[in-house]
A and B are shown apart, each in its own frame.
Chain A
Amino acid sequence: MVLHKLKRLFSKLGAGCINKIWRLGAGGRLFWLTLISSGESFRRFRLTIREVYFTGVLSLIIILVSAFFVGMVLALQGYHTLQKYGSSEAIGVLVALALVRELGPVVTALLFAGRAGTAITAEIGLMKATEQLSAMEMMAVSPIARVIAPRFWAGVIAMPVLATLFSMVGILGGYLVAVPLIGVDAGAFWSQMQANVDWEFDILNGVFKSVVFGVACTMIALFEGYDAPPTAEGVSRATTRTVVTSSLAVLGLDFILTSFMIAV
């Protein structure tokens, strides 16, 4: 009896592992097919522009409002600690570096996964469930070129723009708390920031991170939708998986990228 249960446990574990590896392979295959089908979608770039609107422009509100609050909290917390060491004028640098290097790309990606990623998964999943993708296939139109690739590139374009806007608005929120509210000197706030934020090491690395997060989040959302069982339950599970997998991928990739960037 115990042996039987143990056997079942191992076979379940094995099946789970095989399934995960299979999904990774299928995701990789979809990524490859998306890349080789991209030429077709670039030729009709208005499709991608349309998706930039849906994934990027419509995510602006949540991204910008969050950025504003994150910036304000950073300034409050930063000031609270910095003043103990008598260096409260460094608050501008702290806010800017935290946003540009880490919080901008990471929080934007997490919000993007929740706002746009879920929408992409649900849309593709429902298109599959209502046979729209099959219909496209039967009309000799590749759904990967027509549906997947434009959404992929839209996500890759939108993410760095959103992350940059996040950092900008966050810095503005930090400024409003630090300068008019707390009374830090405005000149010190901006000049310290200007002197200590490096274009290549801080800003470009941050943008690079957000491009990588854009590829990961969008591809995960697309794959989950494309792979979803064509039922209500299947689509809802896929949507949940998009948020969970994207968030973990973003945090994991952030660690890897940061360690490379700091090592270099």
Chain B
Amino acid sequence: MANAIVEIQDLSFGYKGRLLHKGINMTFPKGKVVAIMGGSGSGKTTLLRLIGGQLKPTKGQVQVGGEIVHQQNREGIYRLRRKMGMLFQHGALFTDLSVFENVAFPMREHTNLPESMIRDLVLLKLNAVGLRGAHALMPTELSGGMARRVALARAIALDPSIIMYDEPFAGLDPISMAVICDLIRSLNDALGATSIIVTHDVEETFQFADYVYFVADGVVAAEGTPDDLRNSELPFVHQFVHGEKDGPVPFHYAAPEYHASLLRGAR
């Protein structure tokens, strides 16, 4: 795709001989919000780490801005990462720094801006997530939702062209969830960035995502716009979207036959 900013091509990745991904292809066009969905343990977060160059693919490649990530040296990967912002599952704020200093961190590390400008920029970013008033607090004084928003302000500190979100809704109350949903869309549009969201929250994601990939058993099981997927007849997608407890994804973890286990004693 011509305007793709991130492209995953025929990507395979595994640990210790066990393949987690088996030939994945994905495209993330500029300016779009794209979600990667799938059950827990399906390797969604690993995909973000592969895009960020923290892991190397076993086969295939990830291209960011036309450059192949795993072929870069350390400086090259760091150069690519400066274009990226990442929101970690629990925020990953630096607990020894205040909210203000957390957001200022990337600016202090990568720019030589004067202190007055850093202050203005940090307050601007915090204002965008509605937490300008909390700039003096320490991360331990924040609620889960607030910490996630501060981490978001930090992720966009250097106006990245790609923003990655790792389970942005996990463990949030409905109000915080709605706030984060709104922020993901509005920040993406305001910055002209591309957002990649890894999540399993169907309803929230379908409200604002432009395109969705479903990952199951190491391959892209389905893809399309939220409307396409809502009406999908594919059994896996149907089970996932409607939250049915049994279907192609079984309720039971693979085990020997039940009564045989009971008679012999489970092994």
- A138–B52 touching, CB < 8 Å: yes
Q: Lowest 6 A-B CB distances belong to which pairs?
A: A135-B92, A131-B92, A140-B78, A140-B81, A138-B86, A131-B88
Q: How many residues of B contact A (CB 8 A)?
A: 21
- B92–A130 touching, CB < 8 Å: yes
- A139–B88 touching, CB < 8 Å: no
B261 contacts the other chain (CB 8 A): no
- Cβ < 8 Å to B, chain A residues 87-141: 127, 130-132, 134-141
Return 20 A-B CB contacts under 8 Å, by A number.
Answer: A130-B90, A130-B92, A131-B89, A132-B94, A134-B54, A134-B92, A135-B86, A135-B88, A135-B94, A135-B151, A137-B54, A138-B52, A138-B54, A139-B81, A139-B105, A140-B77, A140-B78, A140-B82, A141-B105, A141-B106
- Cβ < 8 Å to A, chain B residues 66-99: 77-79, 81-82, 84, 86, 88-90, 92-95
**Complex Cα spacing A137 to B82, Å:** 10
Considering the complex, give the chain A residue whose CB is closest to the CB of B87: A135
- A132–B95 touching, CB < 8 Å: yes
Q: Which of A132, A135, A136 has the most CB of B within 10 A?
A: A135
Known: A130-B95, A132-B94. A138 touches B89 (CB 8 A): no
- A138–B90 touching, CB < 8 Å: no
- A141–B109 touching, CB < 8 Å: yes
Residues of A within 8 A of B106 (CB): 139, 141
A124-161 interface bits toward B, Cβ cutoff 8 Å, 1 = contact, 0 = none: 00010011101111111100001000000000000000
Residues of B within 8 A of A134 (CB): 54, 88, 92
Contact of A140 among B88, B92, B110 (CB under 8 A): B110
Residues of B within 8 A of A132 (CB): 92-95
**Complex Cα spacing A139 to B151, Å:** 12
B39-76 interface bits toward A, Cβ cutoff 8 Å, 1 = contact, 0 = none: 00000000000001010000000000000000000000
Considering the complex, give the chain A residue whose CB is closest to the CB of B93: A132
Q: A135-B94, A135-B151, A140-B82 are in contact. List 7 more A-B contacts (CB 8 A).
A: A130-B90, A130-B95, A131-B90, A140-B79, A140-B81, A140-B109, A140-B110
Residues of B within 8 A of A140 (CB): 77-79, 81-82, 109-110
Residues of A within 8 A of B77 (CB): 140
Residues of A within 8 A of B86 (CB): 135, 138
Chain A residues within 8 Å of B, Cβ to Cβ: 127, 130-132, 134-141, 146
Chain B residues within 8 Å of A, Cβ to Cβ: 52, 54, 77-79, 81-82, 84, 86, 88-90, 92-95, 105-106, 109-110, 151
Residues of A within 8 A of B52 (CB): 137-138
**Complex Cα spacing A131 to B88, Å:** 8
Q: Which of A127, A131, A132, A138 has the most CB of B within 10 A?
A: A138
Q: Which of B93, B95, B109, B151 has the most CB of A within 10 A?
A: B109
Residues of B within 8 A of A139 (CB): 81, 105-106, 109
Chain A nearest CB, measured from B198 CB (Å): 14
**Complex Cα spacing A138 to B52, Å:** 7
Considering the complex, give the chain B residue whose CB is closest to the CB of A146: B109
Residues of A within 8 A of B95 (CB): 127, 130, 132
**Complex Cα spacing A141 to B97, Å:** 16
Known: A131-B88, A131-B89. A138 touches B81 (CB 8 A): yes
**Complex Cα spacing A137 to B94, Å:** 13
Residues of B within 8 A of A138 (CB): 52, 54, 81, 84, 86
**Complex Cα spacing A134 to B93, Å:** 11
Considering the complex, give the chain A residue whose CB is closest to the CB of B86: A138
**Complex Cα spacing A138 to B151, Å:** 13
**Complex Cα spacing A23 to B200, Å:** 37
Residues of B within 8 A of A135 (CB): 86, 88, 92, 94, 151
